[in-house]
Chains A and B, each alone.
Chain A
């Protein structure tokens, strides 16, 4: 590599890193507790505790749960009902003032599927963990915040690639893993190179899936505008139905329309994931891999006829797969611990990079 080429890559690495470092430090720090949000909820007593019922207690019909949810939040409408694999006897409910109210203004709670009893989920509606989540997701700035963080994620990827290119000239005369202990600066340079290169794949994957997740609003809008709009085109000029048929049979109807799949959540008419005329049941696949992918089944809210089984555009599949690959929640507790360790190592790379830039700058000024 020519000296001028190295200088150019070095400038790319320095500036892409410098611009995104503060944001990345924030993301890595807030991301750390978020890896364990489930465990922290349990520790703080914020996790809903289902009552122990005798085995074989029958589940309530879905419409009874809809009524229980709406009775719990008078004046609000149900936006979503969802299932949790860890709590087969419960459903998650999300309500808001209107069907199209934005997610941050909605209210989340759990319903006991057998009794209809409401179990609050305080950490989903406020408190320190939600504060950390909002910082991590959008800096409390909505879409502009998300897009800013997405741009920082892209710069992070540029920094990782340029850093990898620069690894070569730095390490040509050193065996892999060498950390010279001569001066603090040399030691941290070698550690920065070593930790940076071994965590490269993980950092790239978490960074890029983070960018996709940050662009979720745009991708969902694209899905609404092309896929969903085409499916509900025949309904375009009809007034929205004044009454909705009961929700009881929705999972069964969707199950018949999409065999081999399980319902994950139901988007009620008028919400962001449905049309004003439909219940949309989001079905997930039966294998570990396809359980991350959703197939929407649109069901007419008036007569419960299946209007369409939606195709999944590629970008919605990418968005779906980005979630486990960003959260690290798909390989048990050991994987969460590894995710946290890799996160800490990334903090070391960010911090040492900042330190190396600073001492070099100071040395150049002194010269």
Chain B
């Protein structure tokens, strides 16, 4: 059965409910302006607002977040200032210096320097992120094969300079915090996808 919806005719016509607001003409003389100011100042509207505040204050049901003492909870995928993590067991830096974060960075704000160390291993000597350029896209954390660079929850990066650098020491978990078990793992960008272990192909070993 064909049904035709009936729409209200909202077009402005002679018979519709629309009407022109009768706007009071602006005062032109000084005396008229004065009278308007006095009328608006002493009307009761001010006390309506004050009453609302008073009522809520007495109820003690306050929703204000006490920033910076108190912060809103962040989602796990929140992407703020980076952190460099260490391996739990050995305390070595997770970063192997592969340079993928530097390569993938679309705002070209990561710079690192590596060298060969005494044990013929690659050592990361410098690592810096120019927060003035960083757009916090999360690509660096996502590309990192070692879960070494992650986005932490620290979003305050006000600075006196536009180009505020974070260097390796600022981002790397201090050893004492690691030993105290205080290094946090972040479930967001770059973290292991749940069920990753099942997806790993096992290599046969001869021993």
A, B co-complexed: no
